[in-house]
Amino acid sequence: MTAAQTLRAALSGGKLFTAMAAHNPLSAKLAERAGFDGIWGSGFELAASYAVPDANILSMGTHLEMIRAIAATVSVPVIADIDTGFGNAVNVHYIVPQYEAAGAAAIVMEDKTFPKDTSLRAGGRQELVRIEEFQGKVAAAVAARRNKDFVVVARVEALIAGLGPDEALQRAEAYVQAGADAILIHSKQRAPDEILSFVRAWPGHAPLVLVPTAYPQLTEADIAALGKVGIVIYGNHAIRAAVGAMEKVFAQIRRDGGIRQVDAELPSVRHIMDLQGDDRMRDVEARFLK
């Protein structure tokens, strides 16, 4: 089974698929080892790892290279966050085969204008393109994929933009009509009510994708019980975990004036070498270094 087939089977299989964010192959490998079903190739995490805002400041090529490197490292499906598609339907038509060739199993494309502003920022610039324009972008993605198993997810930002549930439902339905395999519905409200009422109102013509960053009280069991959600994405927990761990250790080294104290608390160098695939290299060495 290809990664795209695995993801597609999960979407129709009725069991919630869990995707953890990653910003490089190492974070993706850790997520796979921890037992997540797939990787979210997050634009937010990539931007954060370059210490720039998640606002199309990095190029498509930088994101594509991240996806290629992650897909070469893990065997679980990789869901590529292509933001707004890096332009209009023409851009989308060109980039989708590139993401497929890079090893992605799916793309998620959002209905905001290019360049985007990040969704969870309070007071961010959240402008949406016309429904017809985004339908064209979804249709371009569907038409451009080389393999019919490649999953095209349309992301509705109407709730993020404050346009209300009717607009969100209308857009979601329109994007399914344009060929989207699933709908990501995003919300930044600090309680799950807005999302829950969308899910209840959704007629279910395609599975939903949720990103519960803003409403973390909603568990996987809660989401699975809703019955209409195929994928849950943990959108930024790899980079937040990394930042928290680095801040703590760096501060302690400055406090202690050395590394003696932190050394025992940190993963060993051997553990890092294992993650680097050291065993494989030793094997290659033994077989081919004559």
Distances 119 to 51, 122, 156, 167 between C-alpha atoms, Å: 17, 8, 11, 17
With residue 171 as reference, give the H or E element that holds it.
helix 165-177
Which of 37, 54, 83, 111 is labelled catalytic?
54
Helical packing angle, 193-201 and 165-177, nearest 10° = 50
Q: Under rule CB under 6 A, which residues in 81-100 are in contact with ligand SPV?
A: 81
How many Cα atoms sit within 13 Å of 3 on the Cβ side?
22
Name the nearest CA neighbour of 156 among 125, 195, 193, 124: 195
Question: Is 54 a residue of the active site?
Answer: yes
Q: Under rule CB under 6 A, which residues in 228-247 are in contact with ligand SPV?
A: 235-236
- Using CB under 6 A as the binding rule, whether residue 157 contacts ligand SPV is answered as no
Number of residues that bind ligand SPV (CB under 6 A): 14
Backbone CA torsion sign across 233, 235, 238, 241: negative
Q: Which is nearer to ligand SPV, 44 or 202 (CB)?
A: 44
114 DSSP assignment: S
Candidate ranges 38-46, 162-170, 221-229, 281-289; the one touching ligand SPV (CB under 6 A): 38-46
Distance CA 104, CA 175 (A): 21
Beta-carbon contacts of 263 under 8 Å, excluding residues fewer than 6 positions away, are none
Q: Which is nearer to Mg ion, 32 or 81 (CB)?
A: 81
Q: Which is nearer to Mg ion, 110 or 194 (CB)?
A: 110
Q: Under rule CB under 6 A, which residues in 15-34 are in contact with ligand SPV?
A: 21
Q: Which residues pair with 18 in a beta bridge?
A: 232
Q: Under rule CB under 6 A, which residues in 108-137 are in contact with ligand SPV?
A: 118-120
Q: Which is nearer to ligand SPV, 45 or 111 (CB)?
A: 45
Binds 213: which of ligand SPV, Mg ion, none (CB < 5-8 Å by kind): ligand SPV
125 DSSP assignment: -
Binds 41: which of Mg ion, ligand SPV, none (CB < 5-8 Å by kind): none
CB of 119 to ligand SPV, least distance (A): 4
Residues that bind ligand SPV (CB under 6 A): 21, 42-45, 54, 81, 118-120, 211, 213, 235-236
Give the residue numbers marked as catalytic: 54
